[in-house]
Structure 1
Amino acid sequence: MAFMSGDSATELFQAQAQLYRVMYSFLNPMSIKWAVELGIPNVIHNHGQPITLSDLVSALEVPQAKATCVQRLMRLLAHNGFFAIIKVYESKEEAYALTPTSQLLVSGTDHCLSAMVGFLNDPTLVGVYHQLGKWTCGEDRTIIETALGPRGYWDFVHQTPTHMQAFNEAMESDSHVMRLALRDCKSVFEGLDSIVDVGGGTGNTAKIICEAFPNLKYIVLDLPQVVDGLTGNKNLSFVSGNMLKSIPQADAILLKWVLHNWGDDDCIKILKNCKDAISGRGKGGKVIIIDIVINEKQDEHEMTEVKLLCDVIMMTSLNGKERDEKDWKRLFMDAGFKYYKIFPTFGFRSLIELYP
């Protein structure tokens, strides 16, 4: 083997560090789940001010021998921006404070995403990704089929009550961002008399929008096993059905985080059904889409990484995909729509208004 120069050795060691960083990064979501299971965000929130390690360990009722474990967990999470380490002048100890990210993990708030943390860290669903190589070289459409047998993701979820509950709770927690987004996009829903929320699940998004627009007639459309037994009110109703077959008539159709679950052909079917549902509404009818739009040229590296990771999840689990604007435009045109507007108002997702 040839002797390695100083520069080459430096590059090799940097490459090694990058490789190890990525390989060890599976511990990042596990550490977040760890903190949520211990209730650390809640403890800090309830403390009302930055909390010292000794007070945190006491509040968690952790054995003193494990105090250093808590300290090392907090060091990692603080490094990743989940907590802040504060100097306390009247004490020799450092203290931990919440950051905007860890505030998303405080229970009982309108923006708590702890349920999503638990869902995305489910051991069964995480475990299937050890089969990526086998899935790629095989005939199965999704990695779920390769790892768990001949059934798709939705069959797996609907046939497993614990996963169904975890899925619904995760989607409900994600819908809370609608409260924040409505402040900037109220005009999207103003002037509408009726709307159908396609794939609206248990109706959390519906309830939030109905609060802001109490005169809006709101229909949640989802599969029978999702909406059976759910009750609405004078403005909100739940209807069982299949968006691939037909969608109830309304002024507008809402597709929140739905189309990325599906391949292009199915998306075109869904969008054509949306077009039929609003065809009697004249120029006022529209489709409202909340979904990812990949934009590698303009987005920051971290934002693009989130979108590309979601794309791999959609590809492997559902045979779906995340799309850039060219992909979206092609779907819209093939489904018979003529005009659309994109608003990047939902963080890593965008709001799209689509017109026939």
Structure 2
Amino acid sequence: MAFFAEYSSQELLQAQLQLWHQSLGFFKSVALSIALDLRIADAIHSLGGAATVPQILAEAGINPCKLRDLRRVMRVLTVSGIFSVQQPSTATASSDCKHGAEIYKLTAASRLLVRDTISTMGQQPPFLSVQLMLETCRGCPASRGIHAWFHQDQQQPGLTPFALANNGQTIWERAEHDDAACPFNDAMASDTAFLMPIVLKECGEVFHGLTSLVDVAGGFGGAAATIAAAFPDLKCTVLDLPQVVAKAPSGTNVQYVAGDMFENIPPANAVFLKWIMHDWGDDECVKILKNCKQAIPPRDAGGKIIIIDMVVGSGPSDIKLVETQVLYDLLIMNFNGVERDEQDWKKIFFEAGFKDYKIIPILGVRSIIELYP
């Protein structure tokens, strides 16, 4: 980070936000293309101009198992102004709110997507020019995979939009067999090198008082090594799959343990999960967290989980930040991952048996979450 010494942490995080926002802009087109393909505007129009996600699914003939994913697409389309959304009133709000009770309405923009919209001169409907401009987007693998995903009649375990567009191959398999085309591990190491000095500078107190920490799915140990260097008395261990640990560097200040986070996690004061949970669905996350809970002592003995991940909608009210978060959610949807808001996180935390949590939104699009047993 010496190269960036002239910049503050917030300047660096804002610069990262700018680059991510620009890079993910493609998914605005993907979301709009999906709206046209599934005839979402037509469905809302047919339902009187306002509808919930379950109503849209039924009207458009989309399998109800796609409710959560369509809600994620609608989140992008509302943040970008294509549709508007009305939240349930406080009196009627309940757990159903997280399952499609928001009411989506047509705007002037989405009204142009309705297929029966024609001028008094009998001209072609306005959506055709938009459809033409989206053709390049529709042809790319990410877009093809998501389109195919919504047209599936049922949820097939383990199948992802990415796999649908890549002959059944998962992102992890592609990264393992062709790291030149998909440099996943290098990208994660790069992100760690950028983010961890900022974490330690801005929120290093989350590691104070710990005597041991296990970095789950920590790869070659970049994050753990940075923490260990800042806290020499803190014993840091990296847990990852055997094939990863076999390639880990020697002579570092961290210990490597081969294993599987879905099976067992080594005991420690704290468990560290950087950029891991968003890769997995709720059931998998609950399983990981239950294993984490077994690995740490009670809260009064210093036990906790430290998570670095997105909390959609947390932090300053910055439209670019929120838009980047929901666009990243469409990216991660390709791999069956999820970017969660606070209510989504709270659900899996409590289901895994944890009692309390604290969100610290100081890492740009991401937050630090302290989770307590």
TM-score, normalising length from structure 2? Answer: 0.59
Q: Indicate how the Cα distance of structure 1 residues 102 and 188 shifts in structure 2: closer, same or farther if over 3 A, else same.
A: closer
Cα RMSD over matched residues?
2.8
Aligned to 2:203: 185
Unaligned runs of 5+ in 1: 1-44, 46-99, 106-112, 121-125
Aligned to 2:372: 355
Aligned to 1:38: none
Counterpart Cα distance in 2 of 1:296 and 1:205: 24
Q: Quick check: 2:212–2:236 contact (8 Å CA) kept in 1?
A: yes
Q: Displacement, 1:190?
A: 1.1
Listed as ranges, the matches of 1:23-34 within 5 Å are none
Matched, 1:340 2:353: no
Q: Quick check: 1:168–1:202 contact (8 Å CA) kept in 2?
A: no
Matched, 1:129 2:139: no
Q: What is the DSSP-based 3-state SS (H/G/I as helix, E as strand, rest coil) of the residue aligned with 1:215?
A: coil
Q: Indicate how the Cα distance of structure 1 residues 190 and 163 shifts in structure 2: closer, same or farther if over 3 A, else same.
A: farther
Q: Indicate how the Cα distance of structure 1 residues 127 and 227 shifts in structure 2: closer, same or farther if over 3 A, else same.
A: farther
Q: Indicate how the Cα distance of structure 1 residues 281 and 343 shifts in structure 2: closer, same or farther if over 3 A, else same.
A: closer
Deviations 1:20-58 (A, max 9, x none): xxxxxxxxxxxxxxxxxxxxxxxxx9xxxxxxxxxxxxx
Listed as ranges, the matches of 1:204-215 within 5 Å are 204-215=222-233
Deviations 1:225-275 (A, max 9, x none): 222131344740122211111111100000001000000000000000000
Q: Displacement, 1:104?
A: 6.7
Counterpart Cα distance in 2 of 1:193 and 1:265: 30
Q: Which has the higher helix share?
A: 1
Match of 2:170 among 103, 127, 152: 152
Aligned to 2:132: none
Matched, 1:302 2:320: yes
Aligned to 2:109: none
Aligned to 2:342: 325
Counterpart Cα distance in 2 of 1:104 and 1:299: 17
Q: What is the DSSP-based 3-state SS (H/G/I as helix, E as strand, rest coil) of the residue aligned with 2:266?
A: coil
Deviations 1:176-203 (A, max 9, x none): 2210221121111011111010111121
Deviations 1:317-351 (A, max 9, x none): x2111111111111110000001111012111000
Aligned to 2:288: 270
Q: Quick check: 1:252–1:287 contact (8 Å CA) kept in 2?
A: yes
Q: What is the DSSP-based 3-state SS (H/G/I as helix, E as strand, rest coil) of the residue aligned with 2:180?
A: helix
Q: What is the DSSP-based 3-state SS (H/G/I as helix, E as strand, rest coil) of the residue aligned with 2:326?
A: helix
Counterpart Cα distance in 2 of 1:178 and 1:293: 18
Counterpart Cα distance in 2 of 1:214 and 1:102: 27
Identity rate of aligned residues, in percent?
44
Counterpart Cα distance in 1 of 2:12 and 2:298: 44
Counterpart Cα distance in 1 of 2:203 and 2:250: 24
> Per chain length, whose mean CA-contact separation is higher, i.e. which structure has more relative contact order (CA < 8 Å, sep 6+)?
2
Number of equivalenced pairs: 240
Unaligned runs of 5+ in 2: 4-10, 27-138
